[in-house]
């Protein structure tokens, strides 16, 4: 096996990295424009290591690590990732890549490594176990055929709109809002509800600056971001992410204020975004949820989503 040579990935390598990630896992095509956007606008106080792996002068892999501010992470966990072009997929090569990026993360001061692999990636799963990673959580992935279910979803979205209106809840998009404080309100609602997502490792509150950056990303048009209001108070929202170059349309986030749960608001706003996607001619949308997130799993089932291979998180303790 030829030696792997690693070089730092610069912003100009974002499209190459997206191509390598797509070649590694075609079912989750990465958009080059979105990859560049994320790289150019890093989260505040987060640290990144990004590398291109080459073999005999040919780029074959993208590998990286990312962690939040250590002072907010007593467990000092760091996410590591390996994307190897499937044309050169090899067990020993995967071990080499995972070992190298793990060493880089450990040298950064990490105490625990977090890694993901698809349920349909047996080679990845086997290598992680071989290297001492332990299975942690399962992220379920679902897909919804809008061509098959479109008419029903549009009808359900209208029914949901009528029911919410009868309960004093109005619907609107971010594009329609004239509230200068809307994004601050959505940011606060996100930080409250994100902690309800089942998790093993800490979920850090997102700064408003980082939230605003995400909301202005080119894959989430403001006229496709749906909000349920009680008066001027956003109490639920849902939006889809539309990759500008390539890839599947995914649910970005769906949530409901804890004070308003049990009224079908999360399902209602999700239906608005799905009905809009039907009208736009989108053939398929995907979503993902932790395997223990029973409320969202139930919503997915009732809307007609079908399961597809998900992702398994793994943890490895590298220092006490």
- Considering the chain, what percentage of its residues have pLDDT values greater than 70? 100
pLDDT band at 298 (very low <50, low <70, confident <90, very high): confident
> Does 212 lie in the same domain as 277?
yes
Question: What is the Cα–Cα distance from 193 to 252, expressed in whole angstroms?
Answer: 14
> Does 162 lie in the same domain as 290?
yes
Final residue before a domain boundary, out of 69, 100, 132: 132
Task: Point out the least confidently predicted range of 4-18, 118-132, 196-210.
Answer: 196-210
Q: What is the mean pLDDT of residues 284-297?
A: 85
Q: Domain for residue 32, yes or no?
A: yes
In this structure, are residues 24 and 9 in contact, taking their beta carbons and an 8 Å threshold? Answer: no
> Does 145 lie in the same domain as 122?
no
> Does 73 lie in the same domain as 198?
no
> Does 152 lie in the same domain as 81?
no
> Does 250 lie in the same domain as 228?
yes
Q: Domain for residue 194, yes or no?
A: yes
Final residue before a domain boundary, out of 88, 106, 132: 132
> Does 128 lie in the same domain as 145?
no
**Per-residue model confidence (pLDDT) at position 195:** 92
Mean pLDDT over all residues of the chain? Answer: 95
> Does 282 lie in the same domain as 204?
yes
Q: Domain for residue 318, yes or no?
A: no
Q: Which domain holds residue 260?
A: 141-308
Final residue before a domain boundary, out of 90, 113, 132: 132
Q: What is the CATH number of the domain that holds 304?
A: 3.40.630.30
CA distances from 218 to 135, 209, 215, 221, 243 (A): 34, 16, 9, 7, 8
**Per-residue model confidence (pLDDT) at position 58:** 97
pLDDT at residue 291 above 90?
Answer: no
Q: Domain for residue 319, yes or no?
A: no
> Does 163 lie in the same domain as 94?
no
- Considering the chain, what percentage of its residues have pLDDT values greater than 90? 92
Our count of domains for the chain comes to 2
pTM to 2 decimals? 0.94
> Does 99 lie in the same domain as 223?
no
> Does 294 lie in the same domain as 222?
yes
């Amino acid at each position: 096996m030829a030696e792997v040579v690693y070089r730092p990935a610069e912003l100009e390598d974002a499209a190459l990295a997206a191509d390598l990630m797509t070649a590694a896992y075609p079912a989750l095509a990465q958009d080059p424009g979105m990859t560049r956007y994320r790289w150019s606008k890093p989260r505040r106080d987060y640290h990144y290591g990004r590398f291109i792996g080459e073999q005999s002068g040919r780029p074959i892999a993208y590998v990286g690590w990312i962690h939040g501010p250590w002072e907010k992470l007593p467990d000092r966990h760091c996410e590591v990732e390996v994307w190897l072009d499937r044309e050169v997929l090899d067990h020993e090569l995967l071990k080499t890549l995972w070992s190298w990026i793990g060493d880089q993360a450990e040298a950064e001061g990490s105490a625990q490594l977090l890694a993901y692999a698809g349920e349909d990636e047996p080679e990845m799963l086997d290598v992680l176990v071989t290297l001492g990673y332990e299975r942690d959580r399962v992220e379920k992935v679902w897909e919804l055929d809008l061509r098959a279910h479109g008419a029903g979803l549009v009808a359900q979205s209208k029914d949901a709109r009528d029911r919410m209106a009868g309960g004093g809840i109005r619907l609107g998009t971010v594009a329609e809002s004239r509230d200068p404080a809307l994004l601050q309100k959505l940011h606060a609602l996100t930080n409250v509800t994100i902690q309800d997502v089942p998790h093993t490792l800490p979920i850090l509150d997102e700064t408003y600056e980082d939230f605003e950056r995400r909301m202005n990303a080119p894959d989430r048009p403001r006229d496709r971001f749906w909000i349920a209001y009680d008066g001027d108070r956003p109490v639920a929202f849902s939006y889809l992410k539309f990759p500008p170059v390539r890839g599947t349309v995914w649910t970005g986030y769906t949530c409901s204020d804890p004070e308003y749960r049990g009224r079908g608001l999360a399902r209602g706003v999700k239906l608005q975004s799905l009905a809009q996607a039907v009208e736009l001619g989108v053939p398929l949308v995907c979503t993902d949820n932790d395997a223990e997130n029973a409320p969202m799993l139930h919503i997915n089932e009732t809307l007609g989503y079908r399961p597809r291979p998900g992702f398994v998180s793994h943890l490895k303790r590298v220092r006490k």
